Amino acid sequence: MSIFIHILLTNVLPMGIMIGIGVAIQRAFKLDIKTLSKLNFYLFSPAIMFDLLYTTSISANVIGKILFFLVLFMAAQYLIVEFVIRLRGYGPGMKSAMRNSVLFYNSANYGIPLNQLAFAGNKETLAVQVVVMMIQSLVPNTYGIYNVNAHKADIRAIMKTIFSMPIIYVIPVAFLLRGFDVAIPQPIATPIDYLSSAFIGTALITLGVQLGNMEWRIKRSLLIDVSLSGMLRLVAGPLLAWLIVWLLGLDKLTAAALIVSSAVPTSLSSVLLAVEFDNEAEFASQSVFVSTILSILTVTAVIFFLRLDI
């Protein structure tokens, strides 16, 4: 029970308050969701990714192990979600929205705090989570954009959109600067720090604004889809992760960090993509909202079964 209360008070409740503020502001002032979406895509998300990659020590061996795990994990999740998509007979827009709601998970503003809580600030597990976050930032800004646009735009237009995303360039630049020990001048470092610090709050406010835009009464058909998304993300995710780390024979600490990272709810990226490219924004928002609420129980269960020393 103490673990449950600790996770609730230090991780989930603060996020819920921020989302609630976004809902209240939207109901009062009717903000422009597109503007908020662009701020997240082009400023705050690239800044936090650069900051973490530049300041966190990660060995090539650790990166290799995690990348191999993530390839297997995402491939397995993709196969399962494709089975559900075929079973439900979704149209093109809903297909991409369902894929994004399962494949993209909240590895930054939920995963990083959760990692630090579950592993008591362990630097090795933080390195694992930073690599996961790097991939979970890169994939939505490449495959995610392609996925939501493939049914309504030609490949050249899609590639132009992908290569306009700053995150594509931020990741290699951060690794190069860290690898060659290049110091960032203070006049540049300070704005990066400001933008990085603004990411979590702005992203959660954006989700709240989107939730404030829609009716809170879910149609029966949408309730089924949101429930399926939540089950695939919160239950199938950590079970698949457990199976893969067992097959790979990873060390206990790395394995536990990867399982915990896979248990987090649907990423805000799925909402931002849906809003930015007008693709099933209501389903995306409700998937994030419902999976975040349900994760109070599921994340607690995952940590309990891993027998972590918290």
Helix (H) or strand (E) holding 58: none
For the CA atoms of the chain, what is the radius of gyration?
19
CATH code: domain of residue 81:
1.20.1530.20
Percent with pLDDT over 70 in the chain: 88
Handedness of CA 265, 268, 283, 17 (dihedral sign): positive
Residue holding tokens 């099933």? 280
The residues, any chain, with a CB within 8 Å of residue 141's CB and separated by 6 or more, are 41, 162, 165, 167, 168, 269
Task: Name the average pLDDT for the chain.
Answer: 83
CA 276 remoteness from chain centre: 16
Where is average pLDDT lowest: 6-15, 66-75, 176-185?
Answer: 6-15
What pTM was estimated for this model as a whole? 0.79
Maximum average pLDDT range among 186-200, 231-245, 265-279, 290-304? 231-245
Picking from 247, 260, 20, 224, the residue whose alpha carbon sits closest to that of residue 122 is: 260
Angle of the 92-103 helix axis to the 220-231 helix axis, nearest 10: 40
* pLDDT value, residue 310: 46
Q: Which two tokens stand for residue 296?
A: 């109070």
What's the pLDDT score for residue 151? 54
Q: How many CA atoms lie within 13 A of 259 on its CB side?
A: 30
Q: How many domains does the chain have?
A: 1
More confident residue, 190 or 108: 190
- What angle is formed at CA 162 by the lines to CA 128 and CA 51, rounded to 5 degrees? 35
Show the domain range for 240.
Answer: 2-306
Nearest-CA neighbor of 233 among 295, 285, 301?
Answer: 295
- Which residues, other chains included, contact 140 with Cβ-Cβ below 8 Å and sequence gap of 6+? 100, 104, 267, 269, 270, 273
Return the amino acid letter for 22: G
Q: What is the structure's pLDDT at 214?
A: 67
Locus of tokens 């990226």: 269
Q: What is the pLDDT of residues 58-90, one digit of tens each?
A: 778 888 889 999 999 999 999 999 999 999 988
Q: How far apart are CA 148 and CA 269, in angstroms?
A: 12
pLDDT tens-digit map of 133-149: 888 877 776 776 766 66
**Bigger pLDDT: 117 vs 153:** 117
